[in-house]
Amino acid sequence: MTGRFELDRRLPDGYFTDALHTDVLKGLTGRPKSLPPKWFYDARGSELFEEITRLPEYYPTRAEHSILGERCDEIASATGARTLVELGSGSSRKTRLLLDALLRHGTLEAYAALDVSADALREAGGRLRPEYPELKITGCVTDLESDLGLPSDAPGPRLVAFLGGTLGNLDGDARPAFYAALRSELRPGDALLLGADLVKDPAVLVPAYDDAQGVTAEFDKNVLRVLNRELGAGFDPDAFEHVAVWNADEERIEMRLRSLRRQAVEVPALELTAEFEAGEEILTEIAVKFRRAPLTAELARGGFGLRHWWTDEEERFALLLAEPVPGR
Ligand SMILES: C[S@@+](CC[C@H](N)C(=O)[O-])C[C@H]1O[C@@H](n2cnc3c(N)ncnc32)[C@H](O)[C@@H]1O
């Protein structure tokens, strides 16, 4: 071992407290009510997401893993990356395929994992550190909606991976802002590896977000537990049911928590009483599904040229390799 896994925090002290207060106040007083998905991921939420990735209904992880398994050597030789940066890295489980390929290729020196969840970063870093003693492994707690936190001093070329279909948690307004922020931090020679879930039959999509064992329901309700702990809120998770809906117009899954009765929930840290009608919903996550032409076009508008588009055999999921277009 070459030392401890280092966890860096780039955001100012109090950032997450302020962001949670702002998000929850806005989300619970808005119409319809909503909460951003980043608040799912405390230690328990990150564990539940890992459980979701192993569910029979949740095909995206297996599909993306199979593409990575097939293409990782091609990705390594196309990018020659000396640093792998991963946004929303979570457990970094699939990342091992990329780390191994880039090490076989002989270029990789560093892996920087970036996530909103300090718990997920600590857990993943603790496991990776002894497995990859030759690599400089760092973790950074970031909010990719505010500051991507790409390590600017890391050796280039850098390959930035954004896997798991997390791009789909951003709506049509947030994605261009994300591409612009990323594009502004990339240099010639850097590359983007993007995992995108594809439009398919709702009979496959909906169960992936509403599994028979109820793990996704627990994950969804975890945000209420986070609000209870962090804001002293009085949510009874059993007074809400998890629903997953295919929004055909927007081509996205929407996860919602539906109030089972009329109720008022106190949120003392915000001096707020959130009133719910029976059946009223909180939108807790969107998962946009993509098609090749529009996604390629929005990447081009964001300053990225598509180099490769790979899918799994059943064409459920796509992995894209793109590069920043010079002069943008
Ligand atoms: C759908 S999971 C994907 C995890 C992993 N990349 C995978 O493919 O299995 C989303 C990940 O992004 C992280 N995340 C969510 N919102 C974020 C934000 N605003 N900034 C940084 N990370 C975020 C979560 O903590 C979680 O690890």
The pLDDT confidence band at residue 2, using thresholds 50, 70 and 90, is very low
Q: What is the pLDDT of residue 234?
A: 98
| pLDDT mean over 30-56 | 97
DSSP 218: H
CA 213 / ligand 1 centre spacing (Å): 22
Which stretches does DSSP call E strand in the chain? 6-9, 33-34, 83-87, 110-115, 136-141, 158-162, 191-197, 240-247, 252-259, 263-267, 272-276, 281-288, 304-311, 317-324
Provide the phi-psi class of 321: left if phi over 0, else alpha when psi is between -120 and 50, else beta.
Answer: beta
Q: Indicate the top mutation candidate among 35, 114, 115, 289 to test ligand 1's pocket, ranked by most ligand atoms within 8 A of CB.
A: 115
The pLDDT confidence band at residue 109, using thresholds 50, 70 and 90, is very high
Residues 6+ apart with CB under 8 A from 292: 309, 318
What residue owns the CA closest to ligand 1's atom 24? 88
CB 209 within 8 A of CB 203: no
With a 6 Å cutoff on the Cβ, whether 222 touches ligand 1 is no
| pLDDT mean over 144-159 | 92
167 CB-contact burial (10 Å; exposed 0-12 / middle 13-18 / buried 19+):
buried
Q: In this model, does residue 3 exceed pLDDT 60? A: no
| pLDDT mean over 216-221 | 98
Instruction: In whole angstroms, give the CA distance from residue 13 to residue 49.
Output: 27
| pLDDT mean over 69-97 | 98
Closest atom of ligand 1 to CA, residue 144: 20
Interval 46-78: pLDDT, tens: 999 999 999 999 999 999 999 999 999 999 999
| pLDDT mean over 115-119 | 95
Radius of gyration of the chain (CA): 20
Q: In this model, does residue 285 exceed pLDDT 50? A: yes
Q: What is the pLDDT of residue 326?
A: 86
Query: In degrees rounded to 5, what are phi and psi of residue 75?
Result: -65, -40
CA 327 / ligand 1 centre spacing (Å): 30
Q: What is the pLDDT of residue 128?
A: 97
Best CA proximity match to 112, nearest among 100, 127, 99: 99
Q: What is the pLDDT of residue 6?
A: 78
Q: In this model, does residue 91 exceed pLDDT 80? A: yes
Q: What is the pLDDT of residue 328?
A: 65
- Reduce the DSSP state of residue 249 to 3 states and report it: coil
Best CA proximity match to 50, nearest among 99, 113, 123: 123
CA 81 / ligand 1 centre spacing (Å): 22
Q: What is the pLDDT of residue 50?
A: 98
With a 6 Å cutoff on the Cβ, whether 235 touches ligand 1 is no
Residues 6+ apart with CB under 8 A from 39: 20, 23, 24, 223, 226, 227
Interval 220-269: pLDDT, tens: 999 999 999 999 999 999 999 999 999 999 999 999 999 999 999 999 99
Q: What is the pLDDT of residue 286?
A: 98
Q: What is the pLDDT of residue 10?
A: 84
CA 45 / ligand 1 centre spacing (Å): 11
